[in-house]
């Protein structure tokens, strides 16, 4: 079975997250959740869906498909995922082991796993682990709100919707305190600063956050690949350190674990090579005794693929739901957790039915 067509589709979905919208990388207000869906067709009529990262970089990844990745992937074996992906990674190695080319390969990998499931009649989670779970706990990953009153409001809303645990993307004591005051002592509270601080400032802020009993402090240091500084921060204070969304491949995951830089590693399927590389990373982390909670600020095939992977994991991992309501979803309501849990699709492959009319409605490229 050969790959005959690859179609990347950049869509922008209006959303509401309960507070004022923040700026994107260019400084413009972020009014849509941009996503890059990937449709892979074969010569035997089996089609797979994937997703590639992402956010303000969607157009760059779209260009990577058009200029490089699609031409070298056409004609490749759609069944031998491991062999095909190893060859494609080798073909683009001189472009670096992270970035748009790897994001594009990630989308193809996810689609090929969807195809494998459709061929075998098995859902992705059963392809990975026959003893997978039928549902997985999801935490509400709140978008940055910047002000304590909005943090309080949205945290309370998430609790009412059944979420047990919440992650903030805040950088101030006032905002973290606002969330803990609403949550009370029992729910897990995590904070992701998106690589905000110097090592010295990160230690200062970690000490300031200690009273709020954080389950982890995520990506506190810039740059994120300063594993030596992360390891030093981890040793210097009691809050568990998490990182991983900026890791571009399995070897990055291995390196951050071997550096003893994190308590929780968070690789992202649509950034680091798809299901294939993510599953390698999970197995390595398990052997090393490091917890894995995959990063997944997504609403499309990449989100559903991550849910399948979390369901297949031996540990009781959490699924990260990027907490917002979309105007419309090409996957319908299946993207939303219910009472703090995500149902794991049991149809073949990803078990999704993409509404291409909605894709067309919001398509930009």
pLDDT-derived band at 3, boundaries 50, 70, 90: very high
Percent of the chain with pLDDT over 70: 100
**φ and ψ at 296, to 5 degrees?**
-160, 75
Confidence at 25, pLDDT banded by 50, 70, 90: confident
Last residue of a domain, one of 101, 121, 141: 121
Residues 87 and 208 in one domain: no
44 & 147 share domain: no
The model's pTM: 0.98
List the single range of 22-31, 165-174, 203-212, 299-308 with lowest mean pLDDT: 22-31
Other residues' Cβ atoms within 10 Å of the Cβ of residue 208: 13
Question: Do the domain assignments include residue 198?
Answer: yes
pLDDT of residue 76: 98
One domain for residues 249 and 153? yes
The 10 Å Cβ neighbour count of residue 98 is 16
Q: State the pLDDT at residue 314.
A: 81
Average pLDDT over every residue of 40-54: 98
Please count the structural domains in the chain.
2
Please state the rounded mean pLDDT for residues 38-59: 97
Say if 364 falls within a structural domain. Answer: no
Question: Is 71 in the same domain as 9?
Answer: yes
CA distances in angstroms from 274 to 108, 184, 316, listed in the order given: 8, 37, 21
Q: Are residues 90 and 130 in the same domain?
A: no
Shared-domain flag, residues 133 and 271: yes
Domain residues for 288? 126-343
Same domain (yes/no): 142, 263: yes
Residue 318 lies in a domain: yes
Mean pLDDT within 215-223: 98
Is 324 within the bounds of a domain? yes
pLDDT at position 24: 87
Indicate whether 224 and 310 sit together in one domain.
yes
Residue 315 has pLDDT above 80, yes or no: no
Per the domain annotation, does 101 fall within a domain?
Answer: yes
For residue range 184-216, list pLDDT tens digits in order.
999 999 999 999 999 999 999 999 999 999 999
The pLDDT value given to residue 136: 97
Whichever domain contains 52, its CATH number is 3.30.390.10
Last residue of a domain, one of 95, 121, 147: 121
Supply 341's token pair: 């849990």
Mean residue pLDDT of the chain comes to 97
> Looking at the structure, do residues 117 and 230 belong to the same domain, yes or no?
no
133, 166: one domain: yes
Q: What digits encode the pLDDT tens for the residues 233-287?
A: 999 999 999 999 999 999 999 999 999 999 999 999 999 999 999 999 999 999 9
Over residues 108-138, the pLDDT tens digits come to 999 999 999 999 999 999 999 999 999 999 9
| DSSP-based three-state secondary structure for 236 | helix
pLDDT at position 71 over 80: yes
2-39: burial string, b at 16+ Cβ within 10 Å, e else: ebeebebbbbbbebebbbeeeeeeeeeebebbbbbbbb
Task: Say if CB 120 and CB 346 are below 8 A apart.
Answer: no
Give yes or no: residues 132 and 116 share one domain: no
Question: Does pLDDT of 354 surpass 90?
Answer: yes
Looking at the domain assignment, is residue 362 inside a domain? Answer: no
Q: Which of 84, 105, 121 is the last residue of a domain?
A: 121
Confidence of residue 139 (pLDDT cuts 50, 70, 90): very high
Going along the chain, which residue ranges are E strands?
A: 3-16, 32-42, 47-52, 135-142, 166-168, 189-192, 216-218, 241-243, 264-265, 291-292, 319-323, 325-326, 341-343
250 with 171, same domain?
Answer: yes
pLDDT bracket for residue 65 (50, 70, 90): very high
360 inside domain:
no
Q: What is the pLDDT of residues 157-179, one digit of tens each?
A: 999 999 999 999 999 999 999 99
Domain-embedded: residue 350: no
């Amino acid at each position: 079975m050969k790959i005959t067509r690859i179609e990347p589709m950049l869509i922008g979905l209006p959303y509401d997250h309960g507070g004022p919208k923040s700026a994107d990388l260019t400084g413009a207000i972020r009014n849509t959740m941009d996503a890059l869906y990937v449709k892979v067709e074969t010569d035997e009529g089996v089609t797979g869906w994937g997703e590639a990262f992402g956010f303000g970089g969607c157009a760059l990844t779209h260009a990577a498909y058009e200029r490089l990745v699609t031409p070298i992937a056409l004609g490749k074996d759609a069944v031998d995922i491991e062999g095909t992906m190893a060859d494609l990674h080798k073909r683009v190695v001189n472009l670096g082991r992270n970035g748009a080319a790897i994001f594009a390969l990630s989308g193809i990998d996810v689609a090929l796993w969807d195809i494998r499931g459709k061929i075998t009649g098995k859902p992705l989670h059963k392809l990975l682990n026959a003893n997978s779970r039928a549902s997985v706990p999801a935490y509400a990953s709140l978008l940055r709100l910047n002000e304590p009153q909005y943090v309080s409001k949205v945290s309370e809303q998430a609790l009412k919707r059944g979420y047990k645990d919440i992650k903030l993307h805040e950088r101030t004591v006032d905002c973290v305190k606002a969330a803990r005051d609403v949550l009370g002592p029992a729910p897990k509270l995590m904070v992701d600063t998106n690589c905000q601080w110097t090592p010295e400032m990160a230690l200062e802020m970690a000490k300031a956050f200690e009273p709020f009993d954080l389950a982890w402090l995520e990506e506190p240091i810039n740059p994120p690949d300063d594993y030596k500084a992360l390891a030093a921060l981890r040793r210097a204070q009691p809050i568990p350190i998490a990182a991983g969304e900026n890791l571009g491949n399995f070897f990055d995951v291995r390196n951050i674990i071997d550096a003893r830089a994190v308590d929780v590693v968070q690789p992202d399927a649509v950034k680091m090579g798809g299901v294939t590389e993510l599953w390698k990373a999970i197995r390595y982390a398990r052997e090393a005794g490091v917890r894995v909670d995959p990063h997944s600020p997504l609403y499309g095939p990449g989100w559903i693929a991550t849910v399948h992977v979390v369901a297949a994991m031996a540990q009781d991992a959490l699924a990260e739901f990027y907490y917002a309501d979309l105007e419309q979803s090409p996957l319908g309501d299946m993207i939303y957790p219910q009472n703090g849990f995500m149902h794991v699709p049991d149809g073949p492959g990803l078990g999704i039915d993409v509404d291409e009319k909605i894709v067309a409605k919001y398509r930009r490229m």
